[in-house]
Homo-oligomer: A and B are copies of this chain.
């Protein structure tokens, strides 16, 4: 019998997200990183010295979530904050040398987890899955409700 859960995008995506997050957690634990830090690290590896508000827009989480993530990253020695000469409400967020040094190994672990998840799909199917996922994200980001 086919259950609701095999026909529900929400159910499947939630389940898949938990499995992927777990796999990533295991893969990057030896580096002292956690899955929740990954999107912010990607943004900072791409461009160092951003404000919290910029990171919020790029990572698409709520400001309160980003504030807490940055607090943990600071605690863990991944970032430091310096005053922003342009706007004294905000501070600029910079990666520590330690966090910069982790980039290659962290990306390699993430790529390995992705490859493992997609292992059962051929090249075309994998690309298809990513394209469709992007379209769902875009659809939901635009939907006002």
Residues of chain A whose beta carbon lies under 8 Å from any beta carbon of chain B: 3-21, 23-24, 26, 35, 38-39, 42, 46, 60-61, 107, 110-111, 113-114, 116-121, 125-126, 128-130, 132-141, 143, 145
Name the prevailing secondary structure of the A interface residues: helix
Is A23's CB under 8 angstroms from B140's CB? yes
Chain copies in complex: 2
Tell me whether A15 and B110 are in contact in the complex, defined as CB-CB below 8 angstroms, given that A116-B140, A130-B7 are known contacts.
no
Is A20's CB under 8 angstroms from B24's CB? no
Min Cβ gap A55→B in Å is 13
Q: Provide 13 A-B residue pairs closer than 8 Å at the C-beta atoms, listed in order of the A residue.
A: A9-B126, A9-B129, A10-B23, A10-B113, A14-B20, A14-B39, A15-B137, A19-B136, A116-B139, A117-B140, A118-B136, A119-B139, A129-B132
